[in-house]
Structure 1
């Protein structure tokens, strides 16, 4: 099966046939490979950042003990994951896309 790309502003979008039943908003990991581009699905449990050590340090400093540590850690970890995903969604919805060349210019790589 073939698919095609579409220009959308400063981005190139890849169309996926509806028959694939991929819902809107699914996160993909993109890798450039020798003969093209490889897209793989990111599992929902995937944590881009792992703040476990910092969370535990804070909980211990705050005086939690025993089973309280486990309960508090679980709650904070869930909140962080939710907040990170919310920040990504908000950024994707509100920020303008830019090309690689525009980014290079903006951060001073094109002299």
Structure 2
């Protein structure tokens, strides 16, 4: 469903997103803003919080034998490096994607197998 509305831009280059759009897209306090093909694209920001991985990190550290202050210190160390690690993963994925000459159909076949 396409919904369109003309809105004004303030003298400070600010816009107000119509309430209907905010509700329709369930926007939060922050949005992602991208320039794509000569258009500004605004979309819901979805972030993976570090807390989402906290239990997994703690399980690994406990299984490795960490306890007490050593556990806390190692957990903080790993958690502080999460953003950098994810950033490197994203960069690696983008580089791989640039070098991947397969068609979309070929990529889908590699993931899901050929269509029946």
Output the TM-score relative to the length of structure 2.
0.45
* Greater RCO (Cα-Cα under 8 Å, separation 6 or more): 1
The structure whose Rg is larger is 2
Give 1 or 2: higher helix fraction: 2
Which is richer in strand? 1
Question: What is the TM-score normalised by the length of structure 1?
Answer: 0.46
